Amino acid sequence: MSLINVTNLTFAYEGSYDNLFENVSFQIDTDWKLGFTGRNGRGKTTFMNLLLGKYEYSGNISANVRFEYFPFQVENKENLTFDVIEEIVPDYLHWKLLRELSLLNVSENVLYRPFDSLSNGEQTKVLLAALFLKEHSFLLIDEPTNHLDMDARRIVSDI
């Protein structure tokens, strides 16, 4: 267990008159499974980007964990899916990848197809499988059910 401490966090986008966050303080236990919910434009993705150190802010965010953000950016979508996963998680164990794909109802055959030939739902599931291979990280998962049908959404919520 580790804690993510947020103390007196204040943030506004450049040129904005209003703060998105103002003097916000809380702790997150990294063993928790939690989600931030809210309407579009309320700061959920911005908060994740603050954790990732992408923006300047006042206050303090401290953590003794590595953050992993989903969805991953895939630079070379024409590569085989196998190669795309290897770029994201270079040190993964093949049997663990097969386990994750199986849990997400994805055939092993997708690994040997170009990533850009997969449907949007298959791409999302493959990237989720890669994410779940990343151990010892605090996962920041942003809108994981985009492009997934209802069955796939249920599977992801059960994991």
E strand segments, the chain: 3-11, 21-29, 58-63, 66-70, 137-141
Tens-digit pLDDT string for the chain (159 aa): 789 999 999 999 998 899 999 999 999 998 887 888 888 888 889 999 999 999 999 999 999 988 988 888 899 999 999 999 999 999 999 999 999 999 988 999 999 999 999 988 899 899 999 988 987 788 888 876 666 777 767 766 666
> Considering the entire predicted model, what is its pTM?
0.76
Question: What is the pLDDT at residue 59?
Answer: 96
Here the tokens at position 51 are 């954790």
Q: Are 43 and 24 in contact (CB under 8 A)?
A: no
Q: What residue segments make up the domains of the chain, in order of their start? A: 3-64, 70-158
pLDDT in tens, 100-112: 999 988 999 999 9
Q: Say how many C-beta atoms besides its own lie within 10 A of residue 10's C-beta.
A: 13
| CB neighbour list of residue 103: distance below 8 Å, 6 or more residues apart | 155, 159
* Measured distance CA(143)–CA(157) in Å, rounded: 12
- The three-state secondary structure class of 156 is helix
